[in-house]
Amino acid sequence: MTATPKTKTIPPAQGVGTPVIWIDGQWCDRGTAMVSVYDHGLLYGDGVFEGIRVYGGKIFRLEEHLDRLYDSAKAIWLSVPMEKKELASITREALRRSGIAEAYIRHLITRGVGDLGLDPRKCLKPSLIIIVDTIKLWPEQVYETGLNVITAGTPIPHRESLSPRVKSLNYLPHIMAKVEGINAGADEVLMLDSAGAVAEGSGQNVFAVKNGRISTPPPHAGILKGVTRGVVIELATSAGYPVDQTVLNRYDLYTADEAFFTGTASEIVGIRQLDGRVIGTGQSGPVTRDLRSRFQALVRS
């Protein structure tokens, strides 16, 4: 395993309230951060990533996200060039240097620099990147009104080609679905699997509420098992809402009392309309608002 510089050897902080990037032991900013054009993460999307939120200077569920990052890497035969404990330490240092209290942290592990062939053995050393910046998908008003969503024609990748549990750098099917939504003037898209069952958004898990009961597709249906998804299930269960992890189709969402997306970047956001059908009252519903309130209380506690 390749040795990596320890946090104590890193030069002084660059500033306050600005994005910070760490690349293989070097501290950079947006203007100086660079990767090789021969990095297989760029050439082939050969790598994995995680996105993590920071609330009030506290990293939310860091260990859980890093567990998934390391599992994703192992699943694609990619060695992480650092122990998990050291990566956590450098992540905290990157946040400190940024001075951003409400931050978004992106970890990336690429296969590293190789040649123009596919053979991963030509990449002698994986590359590890940490980005600390901010993210905002929609204005705050959207969390009150809910999203206008359409079903994309582009399905999620077949779960037998690459496990959806792997959070890989290749997001092209989800981007193509997002393009469909943009061209249709929608806020977001709903993606189906190859059999037509409800899967997820372009980067979120999806939930439906009917008669006080919450339903969401199960992991074996080919979805990413989101960290925020897990938190919402925990919150809903502790609040007394029955939660079913079951296969859903669009009818279940069309006729739901409420529907919402969850994700690290989006948190919890309601769906007001799907494919021209108004969901419930046409705005973020009471269960959605309650869970969002509980989520905010949790991350701020």
DSSP secondary-structure letter at 38? T
DSSP assignments along 130-194, one per residue: EEEE---SS-TTHHHH-EEEEE-SSPPPPTTTS-TTS-BS--HHHHHHHHHHHHTT-SEEEEE-T
290 by Cβ neighbours in 10 Å (0-12 / 13-18 / 19+) ranks as middle
**Tokens linked to 79:** 């060695």
Phi-psi bin for 124: left (phi > 0), alpha (psi -120 to 50), beta? alpha
Radius of gyration of the chain measured on its C-alpha atoms? 20
Active-site residue identified among 6, 74, 85, 167: 167
Is 8 tagged catalytic?
A: no
Instruction: List C-alpha distances in Å: 150 to 139, 146, 279, 287.
Output: 19, 13, 12, 22
234 vs 211: CA distance, rounded Å: 19
φ/ψ of 233, rounded to 5, equals -65, -40
Pairing of strands 267-274, 147-151: parallel
Contact in structure between 115 and 122 (CB atoms under 8 Å): yes
- Cα–Cα distance for residue pair 193/224, rounded to 1 Å: 12
Residue 50 CA to residue 240 CA, distance in Å, equals 30
| Separation CA 80–CA 87 (nearest Å) | 10
Active site residues: 167
